Amino acid sequence: MSEILWAEKYRPRTLDEMVNQEDVVRRLKEFVRERNVPHLLFAGPPGTGKTTAALALAHELYGEEWRNNVLELNASDERGIQTIRERVKEYARTVALGRVPFKMIILDEADNMTSDAQQALRRIMELYTATARFCLIANYPSKIIEPIQSRCAFFRFRPLSKEDLFSRLKYIAEREGVELTEEGLDAIWEVSAGDMRRAINTLQAAAALGKVTAESVYKAVGMAKPKEVSEMINLALKGDFVNAREKLRELMINYGLSGTDIIRQVHREIFSARSSIKLPDDVRVEVADLVGEIDYRMVEGSDDEIQLSAFLAKLVLIGKRLRESTRSAI
């Protein structure tokens, strides 16, 4: 495995290299053409290109001088009011170098900033608009206070499409000499759910085991195979509680999974179109509600195995009720 993470090595460097964010790229390129940028707020799920877009914008705006005109801070590490009042304020009041009349301050994970820091930031954004533009990046924009949101142009990033994610993974696999199967690609898609950074890191981790197959992907990320999770659920629905519980223990021991990991895979399998679990819609809703209750109990500190055994027991009762209703209908 290379010393540099592939997610960083193959990160797009220009706006033209970005995919699946056409509206965002078009608006940002217009800002570059005019050499005038408002305060920006990039929001969306992890791994969809928010930080990449901010850095690509800086590259295209400042050219070779971008490092001298951009301050990048990760707000989850430096999120206090002291950082905003000192480091950010001092940088914002200095004059930019080159043809662009303002510097850029990128605050990654801005939704982790404290409330006091955000209140201090709102005033700095007003006072130093002539010499600095802010680019805030957040997974949860609702955690950014309204006064800051109203000062920013809002950009919403959506998860990457399956086709775009597959295309990039195949390109990286070809460049790195990795044998990548279609089953491996599908497994990476299931694991990443549109998060390109996670998909590339999963590819790299699986490649360290050899040929990238579905089995190597699930092994690399420490997840059970969806087929095994479905088998456990179907055993319970058929009334075979003992074997379903044995399957649960196998998953927890062989894969080293926590109860929360398993219940979230169960939730995914219940709603997966490719799953072998076939339930009426009203029963699927009932099971989803039960999954949420069990997950809450485990997060609050309840014993994982006891709660998951209780979940399987409830599935046994649900399966019995379904069979009885089917017989009565006949």
Q: What's the mean pLDDT when you consider all of the chain?
A: 89
pTM, entire model: 0.80
CATH architecture of 162-221: Orthogonal Bundle (1.10)
pLDDT for position 73: 87
Does domain 226-317 match CATH 1.20.272.10? Answer: yes
Nearest alpha carbon to residue 203 among 178, 237, 224: 178
In the chain, domain spans: 21-156, 162-221, 226-317
pLDDT for position 1: 44
pLDDT in tens, 85-125: 888 889 998 888 888 999 999 999 898 888 888 888 998 99
pLDDT surpassing 50 at residue 29: yes
pLDDT band at 7 (very low <50, low <70, confident <90, very high): confident
Integer-rounded Cα Rg, in Å, for the chain is: 24
pLDDT for position 2: 47
Residue 106 identity: I
**pLDDT: is 5 or 291 the higher one?**
291
Tell me which of 9-13, 60-64, 142-146 is least confident: 9-13
* 207 Cβ contact partners less than 8 Å away, ≥ 6 residues apart: 1, 173, 176, 178
pLDDT for position 62: 92
Calculate mean pLDDT across residues 133-148. Answer: 93
pLDDT band at 61 (very low <50, low <70, confident <90, very high): very high
Tell me which of 5-19, 23-37, 51-65, 282-296 is least confident: 5-19
Name the strand (E) or helix (H) holding 153.
Answer: strand 153-156
Calculate mean pLDDT across residues 9-32. Answer: 89
Percent of the chain, pLDDT > 70? 96
- Rounded to an integer, what distance in angstroms lies between the CA atom of residue 100 and that of residue 97? 7
Provide the edge-to-edge strand list for the sheet that holds 70-74: 70-74, 103-108, 132-138, 40-43, 153-156
pLDDT for position 330: 63
The C-alpha angle 224, 226, 231, rounded to 5 degrees, equals 100
Q: At the topology level of CATH, where does 21-156 sit?
A: Rossmann fold (3.40.50)
pLDDT surpassing 50 at residue 158: yes
pLDDT in tens, 114-133: 888 888 899 899 899 999 99
- Structural tokens at position 6: 């592939």
Name the strand (E) or helix (H) holding 164.
Answer: helix 162-176
Calculate mean pLDDT across residues 183-207. Answer: 91
pLDDT for position 191: 87
